[in-house]
Amino acid sequence: MKYKRILLKLSGEALMGNKGFGIDQVRLMEYAKEIKAAHDSGCQVAIVIGGGNIFRGIQAEQGGMDRVHGDYMGMLATVINSMAIQSALENLKVETRLQSAIKMEQICEPFIRRKAVRHLEKGRVVIFGAGSGNPYFTTDSAAALRAIEIEADVILKGTRVDGIYTADPEKDPKATKYDRISFEEVYGKGLEVMDLTAFTLCKENNLPIIVFDMNKPGNLQNLIKGEKVGTLVEV
């Protein structure tokens, strides 16, 4: 096993499946089974998930809502998704802990770094909700921050495309895929991997990122074994 401790970053939109909004239970269980397989192989798994399938703070600002207010609403949306992932995993008999950057004692623990690491060491899947707890920061930034704090070996960014391309493969049929690329090349080529705050955090802390297709069964487990899946971004 190449990676002993990972942080899996999922977008909220990924949970929509073929729906236009909310959570697709079929897609949710597909992801839970993939995460369980990775966990059962002995890998320590932490998860950060976005909230875009429910609410986006930036879109709220465009509609005239206060940005800070909208961002906090988006953080609450990530907690809903985190609870959904937690429930799906526990239905598969995977022990989990949900930690939130915003205190919600009735449904989750507050984020405490030492407790999070201890949970991972005990074989529990740890889900980090409510982003970083601060407005103006995306869940990409929260994922980078949490990954560094728990000393993860890598961030695995699960998307609907199988890696990083020279252009958007859904718009440009001539786009070609990178198997490996450096942080500097991503900067230089202006490629969109994560937001710049998150990306810079990873670069400065020498934390590799792998962008891969989460919707293809077996990809997550193959990555953990060290097989070439997706695109690796490293120093």
Q: What is the pLDDT of residue 109?
A: 97
Instruction: Determine which helix (DSSP H) or strand (DSSP E) holds 48, and give its type and residue range.
Output: strand 44-49
pLDDT level of residue 192 (50, 70, 90 thresholds): confident
Q: Return the CATH number at 122.
A: 3.40.1160.10
Residues 8-37 have pLDDT tens digits of 999 999 999 888 889 999 999 999 999 999
How far apart CA 35 and CA 47 sit, in angstroms, is 9
Burial class, 168, CB count within 10 angstroms (exposed 0-12 / middle 13-18 / buried 19+): exposed
pTM score: 0.95
Based on C-alpha coordinates, what's the Rg of the chain? Answer: 17
The Cα 35–Cα 85 span in angstroms is: 10
Comparing 33-47, 55-69, 113-127, 204-218, the range with the smallest average pLDDT is 55-69
pLDDT above 90 for 45: yes
Do strands 177-178 and 164-165 pair parallel, antiparallel, or not at all (unpaired)?
antiparallel
Q: What contacts 119, CB < 8 A, 6 or more positions away?
A: 97, 126
Domain containing 139: what range?
5-234
pLDDT of 53-100, one tens digit each? 999 777 777 778 899 999 999 999 999 999 999 999 999 999 999 999
Number of domains observed in the structure of the chain: 1
pLDDT at 191 over 80: yes
Q: Could you report how far apart the first and last alpha carbons of the chain are, in Å?
A: 22
